[in-house]
C-alpha cells in the first residue's frame, strides 16, 4: 500500500494517481529593497527617501506599471565588537514588488534598479498567470491515471472495476523529497510523452487517492 495513503479502511481497490505539467512562465515577480544606514534616524530617512525617488524615476522611465512599495521602516543596526554589541546607526528601508510580463526585460530591469539605488535583491520568481486552469488539468489527468491503474489491477485479479467509492485529494508538494542536494519530484502516473524540459519551467502537479468498488 502506498505510504501516502490516508484511507484507513479501503474497500475494493484503492490506487494513487498523479500527473505533472511543465509550462513556460509568462510573468516575473521581482522583489527588492532600498535601504540606507546613517548615524541619526532623520538622516537615514532622508537618504532612503532620496534613493527611493531615484528608483521610482527609473521605473517610470522604463514604463513599468505593475509595481508596489511598502511604507518606510526604521531599525537599529548593531555589530558585535570587542565582546559587546555596538550601535552602528539606524537603517531605514523600503521594499518594492514588481510584476513584469515581458520576461526578456528581466535582466535589464534588475540592472536598472540596482544602478538607481536598490541595494538588495530579495527574490526573482517566474510564475504563470494560468495556474488555476493548469491545476485543474493536472488533477483531471491524475484521476484518469488512477482509473487506468485500477483497471490493470482488476484485470490481473480477474475482476471488473466498479463505481468510485471515495476520492481524496493529495498535496503534490508533500510527495516531494530530497536526496542529498537533489530535489526529487513525484513520478507522474499519466503516460505523457517523455521529452527534455526547460529547467526554468514551472511544475504544476496533481495527485489523488481513489477507491473503486469491485465487480464480479
- Cα-flanking dihedrals φ and ψ of residue 139, to 5°? -65, -40
Mean pLDDT of 100-114: 96
Q: Determine the distance from the C-alpha atom of residue 83 to the mean position of all C-alpha atoms in its chain, rounded to a whole number.
A: 41
Mean pLDDT of 87-108: 96
Residue 195: per-residue pLDDT: 55
Residue 83: per-residue pLDDT: 82
d(CA 15, CA 148): 10
Instruction: Record the cell numbers describing residue 82, joined without a space.
Output: 570587542
Structural domains present in the chain = 13-24+130-215 (3.30.110.170), 27-127 (3.30.70.2970)
Which residues have a Cβ under 8 Å from the Cβ of 74 and sit 6 or more positions away? 41, 44, 45, 90, 91, 92
- Cα-flanking dihedrals φ and ψ of residue 94, to 5°? -135, 130
Strand, coil or helix: 7:
coil
What is the helix, strand, coil percentage profile of the chain, to 5? 30, 40, 30
Residue 189: per-residue pLDDT: 63
* Alpha helices by DSSP H, the chain: 41-61, 106-116, 131-156
Confidence of residue 176 (pLDDT cuts 50, 70, 90): low
Confidence of residue 184 (pLDDT cuts 50, 70, 90): very low
Amino acid at each position: 500500500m502506498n505510504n501516502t495513503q490516508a484511507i484507513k479502511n479501503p474497500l475494493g481497490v484503492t490506487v494513487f494517481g498523479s500527473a505533472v505539467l511543465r509550462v513556460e512562465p509568462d510573468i516575473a515577480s521581482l522583489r527588492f529593497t532600498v535601504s540606507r544606514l546613517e548615524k541619526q534616524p532623520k538622516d537615514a530617512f532622508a537618504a532612503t527617501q532620496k534613493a527611493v525617488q531615484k528608483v521610482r524615476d527609473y521605473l517610470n522611465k522604463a514604463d513599468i506599471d505593475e509595481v508596489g512599495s511598502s511604507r518606510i521602516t526604521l531599525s537599529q543596526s548593531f555589530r558585535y565588537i570587542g565582546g559587546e554589541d555596538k550601535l552602528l546607526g539606524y537603517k531605514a528601508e523600503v521594499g518594492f514588488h514588481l510584476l513584469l510580463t515581458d520576461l526578456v526585460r528581466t535582466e535589464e530591469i534588475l540592472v536598472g534598479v540596482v544602478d538607481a539605488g536598490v541595494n538588495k535583491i530579495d527574490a526573482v520568481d517566474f510564475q504563470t498567470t494560468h495556474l488555476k486552469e493548469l491545476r485543474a488539468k493536472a488533477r483531471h489527468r491524475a484521476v484518469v491515471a488512477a482509473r487506468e491503474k485500477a483497471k490493470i489491477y482488476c484485470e490481473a485479479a480477474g475482476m471488473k472495476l466498479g463505481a468510485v467509492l471515495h476520492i481524496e485529494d493529495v498535496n503534490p508538494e508533500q510527495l516531494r523529497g530530497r536526496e542529498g542536494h537533489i530535489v526529487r519530484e513525484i513520478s507522474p502516473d499519466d503516460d505523457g510523452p517523455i521529452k527534455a524540459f526547460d529547467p526554468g519551467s514551472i511544475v504544476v502537479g496533481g495527485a489523488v487517492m481513489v477507491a473503486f468498488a469491485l465487480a464480479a
